A and B are shown apart, each in its own frame.
Chain A
Amino acid sequence: DQQVKQNSPSLSVQEGRISILNCDYTNSMFDYFLWYKKYPAEGPTFLISISSIKDKNEDGRFTVFLNKSAKHLSLHIVPSQPGDSAVYFCAASGGGTGNQFYFGTGTSLTVIP
């Protein structure tokens, strides 16, 4: 049972434009959401997070939006750069003990120069 879903396996964007990556979740108990970036042959790298008490969090070119009523979050990258080409995973946690995260299946972003 996939509690966190990324329905777009891939996305291509022109350099300088906005990249929007989407993520949906089913468990209303989740209260922390994170985005990770992964290059081939490397482990995922933490990008940005948001807690359920907020609806937006910004860090430089990266902004995460959370819509709790729709159980949806998105990552905006503006402007997109070729170095942003990677697989992006969203993850969620909450409602239990410890620090267990549920990950989506990832979206492969290609930024075209």
Chain B
Amino acid sequence: KAGVTQTPRYLIKTRGQQVTLSCSPISGHRSVSWYQQTPGQGLQFLFEYFSETQRNKGNFPGRFSGRQFSNSRSEMNVSTLELGDSALYLCASSRQGVGQPQHFGDGTRLSIL
């Protein structure tokens, strides 16, 4: 069974640019969540999508946005990149239901120069 796939694995951008990250969930999983991981901060929740609708949102500025398509694939967009946006961005998918374990992709490492 294929796991969660994130593309690209690595990305280098400069300040002010924008970036789009992609996530393909496990087949049958309709909930997709995004997290930002930085050293010492653990995993910070960005947002969760279910059936193409944003169901939960973390405490991040509006420069961070996302969407989900009818096939449950999801994209995350960050505009006007800042140096502090350098991080590992992780996508996780899960089945419907509260408390269902989330299954993670290997992440996209974003570096801002």
**What is A's interface to B at a CB cutoff of 8 Å?**
2, 6, 31-32, 34, 36, 41-46, 49, 51, 89, 91, 93-94, 96-106
Q: Mostly helix, strand, loop or mixed at chain B's interface? A: strand
Is the pair A43, B106 in contact by a Cβ cutoff of 8 Å?
A: yes
Question: Which residues of the other chain, B, contact A49 by a CB distance below 8 angstroms?
Answer: 99, 101
Is the pair A94, B98 in contact by a Cβ cutoff of 8 Å?
A: yes
- Asked if B41 is at the interface of the complex by the 8 Å CB criterion, the answer is yes
Interchain nearest-CB distance for B43 vs A (Å):
4
A-B pairs, top 7 by smallest CB distance, nearest first, are A32-B99, A43-B104, A105-B42, A98-B55, A103-B43, A100-B56, A46-B101
Within 8 A of A (CB), among B57-113: 58, 90, 92, 94, 97-107
User: Which of A32, A89, A98 is in CB contact (< 8 Å) with B43?
Assistant: A89
* A101-B98 contact given A43-B90, A43-B107, CB 8 Å threshold: no
